[in-house]
Amino acid sequence: MTTPATGRQAASDTAGPGGLRMLDITLTLGDGDTAVTALADVSLTVAPGEFVAVVGPSGSGKSSLLAVAGGLQRPTSGTVHIAGTELTALSDKERTAARRHHIGFVFQQSNLLASLTVREQLLLPLHIDGRLDAAGRTRADELIEAVGLSHRAGARPHQLSGGERQRAGLARALMTSPAVLLVDEPTSALDRVRSAEAVRLIAEQTHERGTATVMVTHDTAIMDAADRVYEMVDGRLS
């Protein structure tokens, strides 16, 4: 398993041609006596088009799992492969680029930018990547339609409901056709009915677009839509 540092080469023996593969991940935060093991020997493989839910109480390490899977944090040990690229072997700069190209994030309460309309939220990832063109605009309109926000495309976040914001966040995450979709507590600001709708939409888009989706949540009521469910306790996955 000698993936070069540039990491673009497919590591076909450890991961499929796409999807997410996390192997023997340990993440220790802090030093010495104050060190906390956030992730202990976690392995997780998600195939393209598969929707995996990770359930656990707060402090169980769910967010750390997403941070490591999404290249926001380097694990203490273990490897992460995304779409055949070994994320853990990349430099900081390359990891930023990998986030841009291969990873879609849906954050808690969607985390939209206050000054942008829904449509602009979707165009932003393409502008960051320097490839905002007519095809991108078409794709944005298509995704807005897919999440049912066509009538709200010109609205700014403060004019949207919690559910609408969540759908806009999902559409933005899908803009770059990511291999991996990482969803953080999508329902924390939503009521029961809206929660079920939001998760159903995520499942639908996962299956339709073939993303390897990981959703972390403490809300056990929304797991039904997932293809597989893991439980996380004290940094261990079961």
Summarize as ranges the residues that interact with other proteins (CB under 8 A).
Answer: 63, 66-67, 70, 72-73, 93, 96-101, 103, 105, 107-109, 111, 113-116, 120, 123-125, 127-129, 132, 156, 184-185, 188
Which is closer to other proteins, CB of 69 or CB of 149?
Answer: 69
Q: Least distance from C-beta 1 to other proteins, angstroms?
A: 26
DSSP conformational letter for 222: G
Angle at 141 between CA 140 and CA 146, to 5 degrees: 95
Backbone CA torsion sign across 213, 130, 107, 139: negative
Task: Give the CA distances from residue 139 to residues 50, 58, 125, 199, 207, in Å, rounded to whole numbers and listed in that order.
Answer: 23, 36, 12, 22, 18
Which is closer to other proteins, CB of 100 or CB of 236?
Answer: 100
Q: Least distance from C-beta 70 to other proteins, angstroms?
A: 7
Q: Least distance from C-beta 182 to other proteins, angstroms?
A: 9
Taking each helix axis from N to C end, the angle separating 118-128 and 134-146, rounded to the nearest 10 degrees, works out to 140
Which is closer to other proteins, CB of 207 or CB of 209?
Answer: 209
Which is closer to other proteins, CB of 38 or CB of 52?
Answer: 38
Taking each helix axis from N to C end, the angle separating 162-174 and 192-209, rounded to the nearest 10 degrees, works out to 10
DSSP conformational letter for 30: S
Q: Least distance from C-beta 115 to other proteins, angstroms?
A: 3
DSSP conformational letter for 187: T
DSSP conformational letter for 110: B
Which is closer to other proteins, CB of 81 or CB of 172?
Answer: 172
Residues 54, 42 contacting (CB under 8 angstroms): no
Neighbours of 26 (CB within 10 A): 16
Which is closer to other proteins, CB of 14 or CB of 28?
Answer: 28
Q: Least distance from C-beta 2 to other proteins, angstroms?
A: 27
Q: Which of 108, 82, 86, 109 is nearest to 176 (CA)?
A: 82
Q: Least distance from C-beta 13 to other proteins, angstroms?
A: 27
